[in-house]
């Protein structure tokens, strides 16, 4: 995961794009070891590559009633404004 994210970020930067890393977190039922390693891939990549970073795109959304579709993976239309609120403070300075 980290290697793939790093490659995408590097290719985007080489093409002249500014990169904003949007982190994800896994639900705790997947186990401490897996969820920690998954989160660390984003956290450490942001630090190592000095990337602007939103640690958890779905902060305040994931696991909240009415914010996730029935599949419990994808946000609802209601969640879109909150996602913007999570991203905008880090995105705006890049524009």
Per-residue confidence band for 27, with pLDDT thresholds at 50, 70 and 90:
confident
Is pLDDT at 14 greater than 90 in this prediction?
Answer: yes
- Where do the domains of the chain lie? 2-94
Arch. (CATH architecture) of 2-94: 3-Layer(aba) Sandwich (3.40)
pTM, 2 dp: 0.91
pLDDT for 18: 97
DSSP character string of 28-95: GGG-HHHHHHHHHHHHHHHHHTT--EES-TTTTTTT-TTTB-TTSSSB-GGGHHHHHHHHHHHHGGG-
């Amino acid at each position: 995961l980290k290697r793939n994210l790093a490659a995408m970020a590097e290719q985007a930067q080489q093409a002249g794009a500014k990169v904003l890393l949007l982190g994800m977190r896994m639900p705790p039922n997947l186990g401490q070891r897996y969820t920690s390693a998954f989160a660390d891939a984003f956290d450490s990549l942001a630090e190592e590559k000095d990337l602007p970073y939103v640690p958890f795109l779905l902060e305040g959304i994931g696991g909240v009633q009415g914010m996730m579709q029935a599949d419990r993976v994808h946000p609802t239309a209601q969640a879109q404004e909150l996602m913007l609120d999570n991203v905008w403070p880090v995105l705006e300075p890049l524009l």
